[in-house]
Amino acid sequence: MLTAMTAAALTLAALTPTPAAAPSGKVTIDVVTVNGSGCPAGTTAVAAAADNTAFTVTYSDYLAQTGAGADPTDFRKNCQLVLRVNYPQGFTFGIAQADYRGFAHLAAGAHGVERANYYFQGESQNTPRTHTFNGPMSDNWQATDRAEVGKIVYAPCGEQRMLNVNTQLRVQGGASFMTMDSTDASFSSKYHFSWKKC
């Protein structure tokens, strides 16, 4: 019995990807397509960190709002990015954590929602994570999504798969707004890589 349990544990350990240190070669990211009301042309920038541990997405016009002067569709904004991550051979990657930041001004009784998910081309979409902020509020906001080590989805080894990143902001109630923009350098989304050797 103990031998069977030990064998099962060893098999599970072999199937569970083991995160590796970031590759020493250069990692770059190409933006293939940008689509959505939250990221009009020319308002989004993507950059890999110098140490290859993460990449950031900054926005300059990502604003959901309600109240005077807002169009009926302004209460919800979204952005869909298709990214090509270029990295050294012998590695693959997944996303271990995603940090989202912005500013919210929410009237009493209003609420704002940040929703996001990411997945590889050809794979089924993962379940979006949702974070809700309640008014009254007029402050910076931050939300973090973390994946358990054993549940990180990696791109298949030896294949170039595009990474799809979907985000959404939604505001309801009163004269309110919520941004995910780069009026401050800290207002950016940050995606933390988990690297694995192939």
Report the C-alpha gap between 139 and 183 in whole angstroms: 14
Q: With contact defined as beta carbons under 8 Å apart, do 192 and 27 qualify?
A: no
Report the C-alpha gap between 133 and 98 in whole angstroms: 18
pLDDT at 93 over 70: yes
Model confidence band, residue 124 (pLDDT cutoffs 50, 70, 90): confident
- The pTM for the full model equals 0.84
Q: What is the CATH number of the domain that holds 97?
A: 2.60.120
Task: Please state, rounded to an integer, the average pLDDT across all residues of the chain.
Answer: 87
Number of domains in the chain: 1
Q: Tokens standing for 156?
A: 């298949």
**166-189 pLDDT, tens digit each:** 999 999 999 999 999 655 544 579
Report the C-alpha gap between 65 and 67 in whole angstroms: 7
Provide φ and ψ at 4, rounded to 5°: -65, -40
Q: What is the DSSP letter of 53?
A: S
**For residue 7, what is the enclosing H or E element?**
helix 2-15
Q: Which residues have C-beta within 8 Å of that of residue 89, sequence separation ≥ 6?
A: none
**Block residue for tokens 């960190």:** 49
Q: Tokens standing for 184?
A: 């401050």
End-to-end Cα distance, the chain = 33
The residue range of the domain holding 85 is 2-197
Q: Tokens standing for 187?
A: 């207002």
